[in-house]
Amino acid sequence: MQRIRLRYTKRGRLRFTSHRDFQRAFERALRRAEVPMAYSAGFTPHPKVSYANAAPTGTGSEAEYLEIALTERRDPAVLRALLDESLPDGLDVTDAVEAHTSGLADRLQASVWELRLDGVAVADAERAVAAFLAAEEVPVERATKKGIRTFDARAAVADLQAGACEADRPGAGACAILRLVVRHLTPAVRPDDVLSGLRATADLAPPVPAAVTRLAQGLLDEETGAVTDPLAPDRDAAATAAPPTAAGLTAATQAPPAGGGAADGAA
């Protein structure tokens, strides 16, 4: 089998699709693109697709990842284009690499999130960020299937900054942007948990729901706070193991064997 890792997006209205909705749409795209999928065994075989750390329903994303297993080899770039054409606008396949390493899910250590807070002044957002970062612990509550659960939102935040929105809507009023880097811990801390923490520590309460977008996810550099591309190790491994070029193969087949050539002519 060949394993292909894909990066895809959830944009616009498609951010409101659930993970199950995306699964159905993606499996239809696999059929439309005639991808030679490997299937699981058993009474109800299903395509071998591994989804990694999907974004919550209602949030946009520029960096979702999955892995598929094929029964025949395909060019990752061609496969990416075929799948992208077979998915609706907003669910866009933006990258594809052949898997040469293990542990893609283990490399998704942190996410970079952007939160647009309409109706919030930048000064108020900066004050709330400072109070949140100064706190040693920020307990928040979330309703789960097992009831109300309390956990620390501060421990998961590696970086949090506030800034001004771009002037994309003149006359729209106050608007602030939060950029945060969140470690993937257990239990998972989501952007809305950080907003709850900002409300608890600094009484920051946006008048309208925040527009949330995941910009990246991958390995976290604790020193710089940067989140790196999780597909880079596969690209590096592919470059190291690249097959000889066609010119090199031609030269190798035309070269005379060692000890031959002149000696044979002399005989």
Domains 2-106 and 108-227 share a fold: yes
Closest CA to 154 of 197, 125, 192: 197
What six digits make up the tokens of 178? 């939060």
pTM listed for this prediction:
0.85
Cis (ω within 30 of 0) for the bond into 257?
no
CATH 3.40.50 correct for 108-227: no
Interacting residues of 69 by C-beta distance below 8 A, sequence separation 6+:
1, 2, 3, 37, 38, 48, 49
CATH topology of domain 2-106: Alpha-Beta Plaits (3.30.70)
Q: Which residues contact 166 (CB under 8 A, 6 or more apart)?
A: none
Distance CA 231, CA 99 (A): 8
Residue 88: the pLDDT is 95
* Domain residue ranges of the chain, discontinuous segments joined by +: 2-106, 108-227
Contact by Cβ (8 Å): 183, 109 = yes
Question: Which residue stretches of the chain have pLDDT < 50?
Answer: 246-253, 255, 257-267
What is the reported pLDDT for 169? 58
pLDDT at 70: 98
pLDDT of res. 200: 94
Alpha-helical (H) ranges within the chain are 19-32, 76-86, 122-134, 191-202, 232-240, 246-254, 262-266
Tell me: the pLDDT tens digits for 64-111?
A: 999 999 999 999 999 999 999 999 999 999 999 999 999 999 999 999
